[in-house]
Structure 1
Amino acid sequence: MALLFVAGDQGIKEKDLAELLEIDSAALRQNIEELKVKLITDADSGIQLAEYNSLYKLITKSEFSELLTKYFKSGLGSKLSQAALEVLSIIAYRQPITRIEIDEIRGVQSSGSLNTLLMRKLIKENGKKDVPGHPNLYVVTDEFFDYFGIKSLEELPEIENFEDVSDMGDIDGES
Protein backbone atom coordinates (compact mmCIF):
# COMPACT_ATOMS: atom_id res chain seq x y z
CA MET A 1 0.00 0.00 0.00
CA ALA A 2 2.95 2.34 0.62
CA LEU A 3 3.87 2.20 -3.08
CA LEU A 4 0.32 3.07 -4.08
CA PHE A 5 0.27 5.95 -1.61
CA VAL A 6 3.55 7.38 -2.91
CA ALA A 7 2.43 6.97 -6.54
CA GLY A 8 -0.50 9.30 -5.83
CA ASP A 9 -2.72 10.29 -8.74
CA GLN A 10 -0.40 8.68 -11.28
CA GLY A 11 -0.93 5.22 -9.84
CA ILE A 12 1.22 2.23 -10.71
CA LYS A 13 0.81 -0.14 -13.63
CA GLU A 14 0.23 -3.78 -12.75
CA LYS A 15 3.43 -4.86 -14.50
CA ASP A 16 5.55 -2.28 -12.63
CA LEU A 17 3.94 -3.11 -9.29
CA ALA A 18 4.63 -6.83 -9.77
CA GLU A 19 8.27 -6.07 -10.63
CA LEU A 20 8.74 -3.78 -7.62
CA LEU A 21 7.21 -6.35 -5.26
CA GLU A 22 9.08 -9.17 -7.03
CA ILE A 23 5.97 -11.33 -7.43
CA ASP A 24 4.18 -12.70 -10.46
CA SER A 25 0.99 -11.19 -11.89
CA ALA A 26 -1.27 -13.87 -10.41
CA ALA A 27 0.09 -13.30 -6.89
CA LEU A 28 -0.19 -9.55 -7.38
CA ARG A 29 -3.84 -9.79 -8.47
CA GLN A 30 -4.62 -11.93 -5.40
CA ASN A 31 -2.93 -9.37 -3.11
CA ILE A 32 -4.74 -6.54 -4.88
CA GLU A 33 -8.13 -8.22 -4.39
CA GLU A 34 -7.37 -8.80 -0.69
CA LEU A 35 -6.37 -5.16 -0.27
CA LYS A 36 -9.51 -3.96 -2.10
CA VAL A 37 -11.73 -6.00 0.22
CA LYS A 38 -9.82 -4.90 3.33
CA LEU A 39 -10.13 -1.20 2.45
CA ILE A 40 -13.78 -1.37 1.40
CA THR A 41 -14.87 -3.23 4.54
CA ASP A 42 -12.84 -1.06 6.94
CA ALA A 43 -15.30 1.58 8.13
CA ASP A 44 -12.42 3.62 9.60
CA SER A 45 -10.61 3.84 6.26
CA GLY A 46 -11.40 6.76 3.98
CA ILE A 47 -9.63 5.22 1.01
CA GLN A 48 -10.19 2.45 -1.46
CA LEU A 49 -8.14 0.81 -4.17
CA ALA A 50 -9.17 1.54 -7.72
CA GLU A 51 -8.10 -0.16 -10.94
CA TYR A 52 -8.13 1.63 -14.28
CA ASN A 53 -6.93 -0.41 -17.26
CA SER A 54 -4.25 -2.33 -15.28
CA LEU A 55 -3.29 0.83 -13.36
CA TYR A 56 -3.80 0.80 -9.60
CA LYS A 57 -4.22 3.80 -7.35
CA LEU A 58 -5.66 4.76 -4.00
CA ILE A 59 -8.70 7.03 -4.09
CA THR A 60 -11.05 8.41 -1.46
CA LYS A 61 -14.35 6.70 -0.81
CA SER A 62 -17.34 8.49 -2.31
CA GLU A 63 -19.10 8.76 1.06
CA PHE A 64 -16.46 11.33 2.07
CA SER A 65 -17.09 13.64 -0.90
CA GLU A 66 -19.05 16.23 1.10
CA LEU A 67 -16.35 16.45 3.79
CA LEU A 68 -13.57 16.70 1.19
CA THR A 69 -15.44 19.41 -0.71
CA LYS A 70 -15.74 21.37 2.53
CA TYR A 71 -12.00 20.94 3.14
CA PHE A 72 -10.99 22.26 -0.28
CA LYS A 73 -13.46 25.15 -0.13
CA SER A 74 -11.95 26.19 3.21
CA GLY A 75 -8.63 26.90 1.50
CA LEU A 76 -6.80 24.43 3.73
CA GLY A 77 -5.97 22.26 0.74
CA SER A 78 -4.34 25.01 -1.27
CA LYS A 79 -0.74 26.12 -1.37
CA LEU A 80 0.38 29.25 0.41
CA SER A 81 0.78 32.41 -1.67
CA GLN A 82 4.13 34.15 -1.99
CA ALA A 83 2.88 36.91 0.32
CA ALA A 84 1.75 34.41 2.97
CA LEU A 85 5.12 32.62 2.78
CA GLU A 86 6.92 35.96 3.24
CA VAL A 87 4.83 36.80 6.30
CA LEU A 88 5.28 33.30 7.69
CA SER A 89 9.05 33.43 7.31
CA ILE A 90 9.22 36.85 8.97
CA ILE A 91 7.22 35.50 11.91
CA ALA A 92 9.36 32.36 12.14
CA TYR A 93 12.60 34.35 12.24
CA ARG A 94 11.44 37.33 14.30
CA GLN A 95 8.77 35.96 16.62
CA PRO A 96 7.07 37.23 18.64
CA ILE A 97 6.22 40.03 16.23
CA THR A 98 3.31 42.40 15.56
CA ARG A 99 1.48 43.00 12.29
CA ILE A 100 2.84 46.55 12.10
CA GLU A 101 6.42 45.26 12.47
CA ILE A 102 5.74 42.72 9.70
CA ASP A 103 4.29 45.49 7.48
CA GLU A 104 7.40 47.62 8.08
CA ILE A 105 9.72 44.76 7.06
CA ARG A 106 7.70 43.93 3.93
CA GLY A 107 6.82 47.49 2.99
CA VAL A 108 3.20 46.46 2.33
CA GLN A 109 0.11 45.67 4.37
CA SER A 110 0.02 42.06 5.61
CA SER A 111 -3.35 41.58 7.30
CA GLY A 112 -4.75 39.35 4.52
CA SER A 113 -1.78 36.99 4.74
CA LEU A 114 -1.99 37.00 8.54
CA ASN A 115 -5.66 35.99 8.35
CA THR A 116 -4.80 33.15 5.95
CA LEU A 117 -2.02 31.91 8.22
CA LEU A 118 -4.26 32.13 11.29
CA MET A 119 -7.04 30.23 9.50
CA ARG A 120 -4.56 27.54 8.46
CA LYS A 121 -3.30 27.46 12.07
CA LEU A 122 0.32 28.00 10.97
CA ILE A 123 0.56 31.00 13.33
CA LYS A 124 -1.28 32.10 16.45
CA GLU A 125 -1.71 35.18 18.58
CA ASN A 126 0.54 34.94 21.59
CA GLY A 127 -0.12 37.87 23.88
CA LYS A 128 0.06 41.60 23.39
CA LYS A 129 3.07 43.88 23.00
CA ASP A 130 3.52 46.34 25.86
CA VAL A 131 3.29 49.47 23.71
CA PRO A 132 0.45 51.95 23.04
CA GLY A 133 -2.46 50.14 21.42
CA HIS A 134 -1.21 46.75 22.73
CA PRO A 135 -1.01 45.03 19.31
CA ASN A 136 -1.18 41.24 19.05
CA LEU A 137 2.07 39.29 18.96
CA TYR A 138 2.32 36.42 16.47
CA VAL A 139 4.31 33.19 16.71
CA VAL A 140 4.40 29.96 14.68
CA THR A 141 2.45 26.89 15.81
CA ASP A 142 3.03 23.14 15.93
CA GLU A 143 1.20 22.97 12.58
CA PHE A 144 3.97 25.18 11.14
CA PHE A 145 6.58 22.60 12.13
CA ASP A 146 4.45 19.77 10.73
CA TYR A 147 3.77 21.66 7.47
CA PHE A 148 7.48 22.21 6.84
CA GLY A 149 8.65 18.90 8.30
CA ILE A 150 10.93 20.41 10.92
CA LYS A 151 11.19 19.89 14.67
CA SER A 152 12.45 23.30 15.81
CA LEU A 153 13.25 26.81 14.61
CA GLU A 154 16.95 25.93 14.84
CA GLU A 155 16.42 23.80 11.70
CA LEU A 156 15.57 26.90 9.66
CA PRO A 157 18.40 28.10 7.39
CA GLU A 158 20.58 30.87 8.82
CA ILE A 159 19.56 34.23 7.39
CA GLU A 160 23.24 34.95 6.66
CA ASN A 161 23.11 32.07 4.13
CA PHE A 162 20.80 34.07 1.88
CA GLU A 163 22.27 36.34 -0.76
CA ASP A 164 21.48 40.02 -0.50
CA VAL A 165 19.90 40.93 -3.86
CA SER A 166 21.10 44.54 -3.47
CA ASP A 167 24.72 43.29 -3.55
CA MET A 168 24.24 41.40 -6.81
CA GLY A 169 24.27 44.43 -9.15
CA ASP A 170 21.91 44.92 -12.06
CA ILE A 171 21.09 42.48 -14.84
CA ASP A 172 24.04 43.61 -16.97
CA GLY A 173 26.43 42.70 -14.15
CA GLU A 174 27.19 46.30 -13.21
CA SER A 175 27.07 47.42 -9.59
Structure 2
Amino acid sequence: MSEEELQGALQGLLYVCGDEGLVVDDAARVLGISEEETTQYLNQLKDWMQLNMPGLQLKNYGSKFQMVTSEEAAPYIEKLAEVPEKNNLSQAALETLAIIAYNQPVTKAEVDDIRGVKSEKAVQSLVNKALVIDAGRAQTPGRPIIYQTTERFLEYFNIPSIQELPDLHESIEEETEEADLFFNQLGEES
Protein backbone atom coordinates (compact mmCIF):
# COMPACT_ATOMS: atom_id res chain seq x y z
CA MET A 1 0.00 0.00 0.00
CA SER A 2 1.40 3.40 -0.97
CA GLU A 3 1.72 6.29 1.48
CA GLU A 4 -1.12 8.09 -0.32
CA GLU A 5 -3.37 5.02 0.02
CA LEU A 6 -2.47 4.75 3.72
CA GLN A 7 -3.37 8.41 4.30
CA GLY A 8 -6.65 7.90 2.46
CA ALA A 9 -7.43 4.80 4.50
CA LEU A 10 -6.66 6.67 7.74
CA GLN A 11 -8.93 9.54 6.71
CA GLY A 12 -11.73 7.06 6.04
CA LEU A 13 -11.17 5.28 9.35
CA LEU A 14 -11.19 8.58 11.24
CA TYR A 15 -14.41 9.61 9.54
CA VAL A 16 -16.15 6.31 10.29
CA CYS A 17 -15.00 6.31 13.93
CA GLY A 18 -16.53 9.78 14.44
CA ASP A 19 -16.90 10.84 18.07
CA GLU A 20 -15.42 7.58 19.33
CA GLY A 21 -12.06 8.37 17.77
CA LEU A 22 -9.60 5.99 16.14
CA VAL A 23 -7.48 3.88 18.49
CA VAL A 24 -3.93 3.52 17.14
CA ASP A 25 -3.63 -0.23 17.72
CA ASP A 26 -6.98 -0.83 15.94
CA ALA A 27 -5.82 1.23 12.96
CA ALA A 28 -2.45 -0.58 12.91
CA ARG A 29 -4.18 -3.96 12.92
CA VAL A 30 -6.57 -2.96 10.11
CA LEU A 31 -3.80 -1.43 7.98
CA GLY A 32 -1.31 -4.21 8.66
CA ILE A 33 1.45 -1.89 9.89
CA SER A 34 3.08 -1.25 13.27
CA GLU A 35 1.59 1.07 15.87
CA GLU A 36 4.64 3.32 15.53
CA GLU A 37 4.13 3.66 11.78
CA THR A 38 0.42 4.29 12.29
CA THR A 39 1.16 7.03 14.82
CA GLN A 40 3.68 8.55 12.41
CA TYR A 41 1.13 8.59 9.55
CA LEU A 42 -1.56 10.04 11.82
CA ASN A 43 0.80 12.83 12.92
CA GLN A 44 1.61 13.55 9.25
CA LEU A 45 -2.12 13.70 8.53
CA LYS A 46 -2.56 16.02 11.50
CA ASP A 47 0.06 18.43 10.09
CA TRP A 48 -1.40 18.20 6.59
CA MET A 49 -4.94 18.94 7.87
CA GLN A 50 -3.67 21.98 9.76
CA LEU A 51 -2.36 23.45 6.48
CA ASN A 52 -5.04 22.23 4.06
CA MET A 53 -8.26 21.83 6.03
CA PRO A 54 -8.73 24.85 8.30
CA GLY A 55 -12.23 23.79 9.35
CA LEU A 56 -11.08 20.45 10.75
CA GLN A 57 -8.39 19.31 13.14
CA LEU A 58 -6.94 15.99 14.14
CA LYS A 59 -6.61 15.76 17.92
CA ASN A 60 -4.55 13.19 19.78
CA TYR A 61 -5.87 11.89 23.11
CA GLY A 62 -3.44 9.26 24.40
CA SER A 63 -3.61 6.32 22.01
CA LYS A 64 -6.67 7.71 20.24
CA PHE A 65 -6.95 10.22 17.38
CA GLN A 66 -10.17 12.07 16.71
CA MET A 67 -11.22 14.36 13.86
CA VAL A 68 -12.91 17.48 15.26
CA THR A 69 -13.99 20.87 13.99
CA SER A 70 -11.65 23.80 14.47
CA GLU A 71 -12.34 26.59 16.93
CA GLU A 72 -12.62 29.01 14.00
CA ALA A 73 -15.57 27.01 12.63
CA ALA A 74 -17.42 26.98 15.98
CA PRO A 75 -19.53 30.14 15.45
CA TYR A 76 -20.85 28.79 12.15
CA ILE A 77 -21.60 25.38 13.62
CA GLU A 78 -23.50 27.05 16.47
CA LYS A 79 -25.57 29.05 13.95
CA LEU A 80 -26.38 25.89 12.03
CA ALA A 81 -27.46 24.16 15.22
CA GLU A 82 -29.84 27.05 15.94
CA VAL A 83 -31.67 26.65 12.61
CA PRO A 84 -35.14 25.36 13.48
CA GLU A 85 -35.85 21.88 12.26
CA LYS A 86 -38.23 21.79 9.35
CA ASN A 87 -41.32 19.63 9.65
CA ASN A 88 -40.60 17.19 6.89
CA LEU A 89 -42.93 14.41 7.97
CA SER A 90 -45.24 13.17 5.26
CA GLN A 91 -48.97 12.81 5.87
CA ALA A 92 -48.48 9.02 6.06
CA ALA A 93 -45.70 9.44 8.64
CA LEU A 94 -47.84 11.81 10.73
CA GLU A 95 -50.78 9.39 10.66
CA THR A 96 -48.51 6.49 11.58
CA LEU A 97 -46.88 8.49 14.36
CA ALA A 98 -50.28 9.40 15.83
CA ILE A 99 -51.34 5.75 15.78
CA ILE A 100 -48.14 4.66 17.50
CA ALA A 101 -48.35 7.48 20.07
CA TYR A 102 -51.94 6.67 21.07
CA ASN A 103 -51.64 2.87 20.92
CA GLN A 104 -48.09 2.18 22.07
CA PRO A 105 -46.57 -0.29 22.29
CA VAL A 106 -47.94 -1.38 18.92
CA THR A 107 -46.84 -3.65 16.06
CA LYS A 108 -46.60 -2.56 12.45
CA ALA A 109 -49.44 -4.96 11.58
CA GLU A 110 -51.67 -3.20 14.13
CA VAL A 111 -50.72 0.17 12.63
CA ASP A 112 -51.52 -1.19 9.15
CA ASP A 113 -54.93 -2.41 10.39
CA ILE A 114 -55.82 0.99 11.84
CA ARG A 115 -54.61 2.95 8.80
CA GLY A 116 -55.98 0.47 6.30
CA VAL A 117 -52.77 0.61 4.25
CA LYS A 118 -49.19 -0.62 4.59
CA SER A 119 -47.07 1.56 6.86
CA GLU A 120 -43.61 0.07 6.42
CA LYS A 121 -42.04 3.15 4.79
CA ALA A 122 -43.65 5.52 7.28
CA VAL A 123 -42.50 3.44 10.27
CA GLN A 124 -38.96 3.25 8.86
CA SER A 125 -38.94 7.03 8.33
CA LEU A 126 -40.03 7.58 11.94
CA VAL A 127 -37.35 5.19 13.21
CA ASN A 128 -34.72 7.00 11.10
CA LYS A 129 -35.83 10.33 12.60
CA ALA A 130 -35.64 8.78 16.10
CA LEU A 131 -39.29 9.59 16.78
CA VAL A 132 -40.14 5.93 17.39
CA ILE A 133 -38.01 2.96 18.41
CA ASP A 134 -38.09 -0.80 18.28
CA ALA A 135 -39.29 -1.57 21.81
CA GLY A 136 -38.85 -5.32 21.67
CA ARG A 137 -40.93 -8.19 20.38
CA ALA A 138 -44.58 -9.04 20.91
CA GLN A 139 -45.32 -12.35 22.59
CA THR A 140 -47.49 -13.44 19.66
CA PRO A 141 -46.82 -15.82 16.77
CA GLY A 142 -44.01 -14.50 14.59
CA ARG A 143 -42.87 -12.27 17.44
CA PRO A 144 -43.33 -9.01 15.51
CA ILE A 145 -41.44 -5.87 16.50
CA ILE A 146 -43.37 -3.49 18.72
CA TYR A 147 -42.89 0.26 18.42
CA GLN A 148 -43.20 3.14 20.84
CA THR A 149 -42.41 6.84 20.80
CA THR A 150 -39.14 8.29 22.09
CA GLU A 151 -38.07 11.28 24.13
CA ARG A 152 -37.21 12.85 20.78
CA PHE A 153 -40.93 12.58 19.91
CA LEU A 154 -41.77 14.51 23.08
CA GLU A 155 -39.18 17.19 22.23
CA TYR A 156 -40.32 17.41 18.60
CA PHE A 157 -43.93 18.08 19.61
CA ASN A 158 -43.05 19.96 22.82
CA ILE A 159 -44.97 17.55 25.04
CA PRO A 160 -43.71 16.93 28.60
CA SER A 161 -44.91 13.31 28.69
CA ILE A 162 -46.99 10.88 26.68
CA GLN A 163 -49.78 11.34 29.22
CA GLU A 164 -50.07 14.96 28.02
CA LEU A 165 -51.23 13.97 24.53
CA PRO A 166 -54.62 15.54 23.76
CA ASP A 167 -57.52 13.24 24.62
CA LEU A 168 -58.34 11.52 21.34
CA HIS A 169 -62.01 10.84 22.12
CA GLU A 170 -62.58 14.43 23.26
CA SER A 171 -61.05 15.75 20.01
CA ILE A 172 -63.26 13.47 17.91
CA GLU A 173 -66.39 14.59 19.80
CA GLU A 174 -65.49 18.28 19.29
CA GLU A 175 -64.89 17.73 15.57
CA THR A 176 -68.22 15.86 15.27
CA GLU A 177 -70.04 18.70 17.04
CA GLU A 178 -68.38 21.28 14.77
CA ALA A 179 -69.28 19.24 11.69
CA ASP A 180 -72.89 18.91 12.88
CA LEU A 181 -73.12 22.69 13.39
CA PHE A 182 -71.66 23.32 9.95
CA PHE A 183 -74.05 20.93 8.22
CA ASN A 184 -77.03 22.27 10.20
CA GLN A 185 -76.17 25.81 9.13
CA LEU A 186 -75.67 24.67 5.57
CA GLY A 187 -79.10 23.00 5.65
CA GLU A 188 -80.77 26.17 7.02
CA GLU A 189 -79.26 28.29 4.22
CA SER A 190 -80.69 26.03 1.51
> Equivalent residues in 2 for 1:63-78 (5 A)?
none
1:135 aligned residue: 144
1:4 aligned residue: none
Matched, 1:45 2:75: yes
- Write the distance in 2 (CA, Å) between the matches of 1:112 and 1:166: 31
1:86-110 per-residue CA deviation (whole Å, 9 max, x = no partner) reads 1101111110000000011111111
Q: Find the structure with the greater CA-based Rg.
A: 2
Letter of the aligned partner of 1:130 in structure 2?
Q
Letter of the aligned partner of 1:108 in structure 2?
V
Matched, 1:96 2:126: no
Runs of 4+ in 1 over 4 A off after TM superposition: 164-173
1:18 aligned residue: none
Letter of the aligned partner of 1:105 in structure 2?
I
For structure 1, the 5+ residue unaligned runs are 1-40, 49-58, 61-75
Which structure: greater helix fraction?
2
Q: Residue 125 of structure 1 aligns to a residue in which SS?
A: strand
Letter of the aligned partner of 2:157 in structure 1?
F
- Write the distance in 2 (CA, Å) between the matches of 1:120 and 1:143: 9
- Looking at both structures, which has the greater relative contact order when contacts are Cα pairs under 8 Å and sequence separation is at least 6? 1
Aligned residues: 109
RMSD between superposed Cα atoms in Å: 2.8
Q: Residue 109 of structure 2 aligns to a residue in which SS?
A: helix
1:124 aligned residue: 133
Q: Residue 101 of structure 2 aligns to a residue in which SS?
A: helix
Q: What is the CA distance between 1:77 and its match in structure 2?
A: 5.1
1:160 aligned residue: 169
Q: Residue 139 of structure 1 aligns to a residue in which SS?
A: strand
For structure 2, the 5+ residue unaligned runs are 1-70
Identity value in percent: 38
2:123 aligned residue: 114
1:102-130 per-residue CA deviation (whole Å, 9 max, x = no partner) reads 01111111111001101111000001001
> Equivalent residues in 2 for 1:51-66 (5 A)?
none
Cα 1:161/1:132, change in 2 over 3 Å: same
Q: What is the CA distance between 1:43 and its match in structure 2?
A: 3.6
- Write the distance in 1 (CA, Å) between the matches of 2:176 and 2:140: 33
- Write the distance in 1 (CA, Å) between the matches of 2:87 and 2:176: 32
Q: Residue 157 of structure 1 aligns to a residue in which SS?
A: coil
Letter of the aligned partner of 1:145 in structure 2?
L
